[in-house]
Structure 1
């Protein structure tokens, strides 16, 4: 994907190396083995939240109480000194592209787009409202502070462990997290969290799947809106990444039988289908994963 003509976004900061720690709120059935997973219900949402669990026994949905602000994390920096690696510069350019795209789309609907803050960190970080996380959790979005949190070492894990190679695979990850930001701005995230509090765990997981698939579709919309920047092979890279992070694929790679009621992000086929739909239409209105019959 051609992004070299874009300046990295000013909406970024670098937390440096931090100690991480446990997540804010409660844990789940596998205790410390899965303690690095973000709490998805109303807290951290993201493409990477279940990517690095190849050795785990299963994928669990976490419900919990209020988020806490824990220690850890380094000092933040100004935007001008954030981008000190090529991977960070690439992420910043992707964010700039999403800002341009969503600002245009919001303006068409008579509203103003407020971009998220991209937070770089190494090892661990304490987010402003979603507690602490280690880099093993993967990239995530925190609705409380409207921040995307990224340890760029994840890109190497995505390529080597998941087999999702190419620059567009990395861009898709960031665009997916921006998709969660769109859900937060539009009020969809709040509605889903409220509904999740009234239903069973399995039903709450199903709602979360629709959230993740919609974020995939929004990532596809962003790609379609930037078709002139796409290069041969980019579409295949994105679809391959979506396939690699499907719940069923992750469970099989962990040596487990896929159990649909435990899915929190969607199957590989579902993720590919919704990313493809966004790419084909370029219209966020087509990303209504909550419509009756939209997700099968």
Structure 2
């Protein structure tokens, strides 16, 4: 993946070293591998992993150490991003803007560019207080993508390496932003309110798989316009999708794979929908809800 000649986005907010916005006090950082362990424990105990992660988030605040608990409002650092990690995500975000702006124009719509917030350890968002253990996430409340760059090191530890594997992660989160702008996220929430937990979960999985497909659509056009990819780059992204497939994570627990408890889809599903987006470049092909 050749990206260094690409333009950096103006929509990156760098909160690294600026505190969390709640009075930064260090905190306990368990990372992606720790999150996986918590999820596996939840499955084993029959508990909701999201509830366990919420408890850990609370512990991060409580165990932050001795000192002032005064709440302060963090501000992003100004100036250009000079570190490789910062430059990389800034260029990737710029590449998503260069693709989604014209695609929305073709649909007769306006693309509202999302912000990307870089943080370390913990941060406040319109979706609540979050830690690095949550992994990258998109918050529709403020149209921002949040990421602690340590996630990329932990992603590699799970077997997903290569720069485009990292770019795929951002492409997926931008895919959620696209869903939000198109009203898909709101419609899914409306339907889920009157569904059984099982059917509601199936819609959540479909939403995640569509974000994978949209990431593929972005890669299709980015390769033609802003960044240069080769077959190895695409395979890196496919491998990243497989590495965080729900069946793979469940298999790590030694238990039977249970599709009813999936949150993002199986490794095969994630790979197939991403590939479809890359090969077709057609958003209409990303109807993951058809059989949900």
TM-score using structure 1 length: 0.81
Q: Choose 1 or 2 for highest CA Rg.
A: 2
Cross-structure match for 2:87: 89
Distance 1:73 1:173, change over 3 A: farther
For 1:57, which of 41, 50, 65 is the aligned residue? 41
Alpha-carbon distance change, 260 to 72 in structure 1, aligned in 2, over 3 angstroms: farther
What is the aligned partner in structure 1 of residue 241 from structure 2? 242
TM-score, normalised to structure 2, is 0.82
How far the C-alpha of 1:200 sits from its partner, in A, is 1.9
Counterparts of 1:4 and 1:51, CA distance in 2: 32
Q: Is contact 1:14–1:120 with CA below 8 Å preserved after alignment?
A: yes
Q: Which residue of 2 aligns with 1:170?
A: 166
Give the equivalent residue in structure 1 for 2:267.
Answer: 268
Matched, 1:149 2:146: yes
Could you tell me which residue of structure 1 aligns to residue 283 of structure 2? 284
Structure 1 residue 6, shift from structure 2 partner: 1.4
Aligned to 1:213: 209
Aligned residues: 258
CA distance in 2, matches of 1:179, 1:240: 18
Q: Are 2:100 and 1:116 aligned?
A: no
Q: 1:187 corresponds to which residue? A: 183
Name the residue aligned to 1:139: 136
Per-residue deviation, 1:279: 0.6
Which residue does 1:33 correspond to in 2?
none
Greater percentage in helix: 2
Q: What is the CA deviation profile of residues 147-197 of structure 1, one whole-angstrom value per residue up to 9, with x for unaligned ones?
A: 00000010000001x110000100000000000000000000001111111
- Unaligned ranges ≥5, structure 2: 23-29, 52-60, 62-70
Paired residue secondary structure (2:16): strand
**Aligned partners of 2:96 and 2:222 also within 8 Å:** no
What is the aligned-residue RMSD (CA, Å)?
2.4
Whole-Å separation in 2 of the counterparts to 1:4 and 1:199: 47
For the pair 1:74 / 2:43, whether they are aligned, the reply is no
User: What are the superposed Cα offsets for residues 252-289 of structure 1, whole Å, 9 maximum, x if unpaired?
Assistant: 11333221111110011100010010011011111111
